[in-house]
Structure 1
């Protein structure tokens, strides 16, 4: 039985607030909580509306950005529009450009079955295995090339030439970053998976991060040269199934745009809202 969307949004807010706390320091600034990563490894986090707080003001945004600049952190904000609907106008008035990403939850009964992939297979990363560091580095390289930026925003579906050679040319992750990820995978917080072929190695990658019985699928990307072969869709389905089989009952993701959302809808996800991802608008030429 599907959960009411109002319950989903409450659970998502708790998830979003909990995810960074084991790897970041939380600083309350006005109506926001700014997550500041510990050390030099890991993802540079963002600011989100504080649980239970009033809609943040433009002054709050200015104060957070000032603090982010002091820290050398990205001036990044995230929130769910349906939970904090007035923040969109405030953010835009404060000079932020906002990406409106379809927010989707899995309909368990609609999840597609595992299907064979042409010339490839899906494999889950083993944090205890000797190849974990190499797998993680290749996965990160695939994501960088698939998203087209160092941090990634939304993957495209247009075929492009970057392939195994470009993947292997990117530098590997440092030992500290690998060990941090090893601990998170071993503890069940993260689950990584890849699509690989005997000839070309890792062609697609993705991960699932979990807090309690809620899990988010994120970072699903395919090498540009390997697109349009169903890798990302099947990898997403496999990650979702793995989460369900391990006690999760709410699986969600944020699609990069409406075209990507349509692909995920074919896997078994439905749109329930909009995830807002904001950063400073580029200066006019």
Structure 2
């Protein structure tokens, strides 16, 4: 499964507005933002990689004025971390990724007064992005580029889910990338502070996954960064499957 997950990451980065191929790597470049969490690289699964390839990758990042950074499934490139650290890269995080398939997915209820739906207008998309930004401790403002990126993801077959209160406030949300090879990443599961401890993160995860499988996807995957998120995702039917590495060069 490592290979299949990593291949989906390669495909998604290749669909960025201005992808760059550097030997065994693909860099997903989005000219509308310098965020290293959007502009990053990943290796093609199973490719042979040398120190010269890493040097070329760094040069390609510098040429487009972006921070050299990678995210990848470690099982698909077991020797890459040593090459990167030798070149001065520093590990940011190691996360377990979890899988869900239609036979293991579970429905989870929402708390009274909260409703899940897909954003259908740019104002709703902006509200969802603002709620996610706030929940993750970032500037809550949603730029036009952010909204356009989410709209494009939906148009391409991705999923977006927002949690809305009875009075119309966005309490949180999440989404999933357009499936590639029937595989999709679920990400951005977020709940604003006033609405936490109500099971909302689990309900958002479950609804995002349900909508994803309704499109014909066969595998949904996401990452758990801690015990609390792990428990939430397991309640929605996800099970641990492998490891991913986040690593960057300052």
Where on the TM-score scale, by shorter chain, does this alignment land: which range? 0.7 to 0.9
* Greater displacement, 40-49 / 90-99: 40-49
- Following superposition, the deviation at residue 200 of structure 1 comes to 6.1
Distance 2:2 2:212 in 1: 19
Distance 1:235 1:254 in 2: 15
TM-score, normalised relative to structure 1: 0.77
Choose from 81, 85, 95 the match for 1:92. Answer: 85
After superposition, where does 1:21-32 map in structure 2 within 5 Å? 21-32=14-25
Choose from 143, 160, 165 the match for 1:173. Answer: 143
CA deviations over 1:216-244 (Å, ceiling 9, x no partner): 10111111232221111110011111111
Distance 2:84 2:40 in 1: 14
Instruction: Indicate whether 1:40 and 2:32 are aligned.
Output: yes
Q: Is the CA contact 1:102–1:273 (under 8 Å) kept in the aligned structure 2?
A: yes
Q: Is the CA contact 1:30–1:56 (under 8 Å) kept in the aligned structure 2?
A: no
Q: Point out where structure 1 has 5 or more consecutive residues left out of the alignment.
A: 1-7, 127-131, 151-169
Distance 1:24 1:185 in 2: 15
Match in the other structure for 1:110: 104
Instruction: Indicate whether 1:209 and 2:177 are aligned.
Output: yes
CA deviations over 1:102-160 (Å, ceiling 9, x no partner): 1110143332224132321111122xxxxx2111112222222222246xxxxxxxxxx
Distance 1:139 1:217 in 2: 15
Instruction: Indicate whether 1:135 and 2:127 are aligned.
Output: no
Distance 1:148 1:108 in 2: 33
After superposition, where does 1:1-285 map in structure 2 within 5 Å? 8-37=1-30, 39-40=31-32, 44-57=38-51, 59-98=52-91, 99-126=93-120, 132-149=121-138, 170-174=140-144, 177-188=146-157, 190-199=158-167, 201-210=169-178, 211-280=180-249
Q: Point out where structure 2 has 5 or more consecutive residues left out of the alignment.
A: none
Distance 1:121 1:83 in 2: 39
Distance 1:56 1:198 in 2: 56
124 and 31 in structure 1: CA distance in 2 versus 1, 3 angstrom threshold:
same
What is the SS of the residue equivalent to 2:71?
strand
CA RMSD of aligned residues (A): 2.4
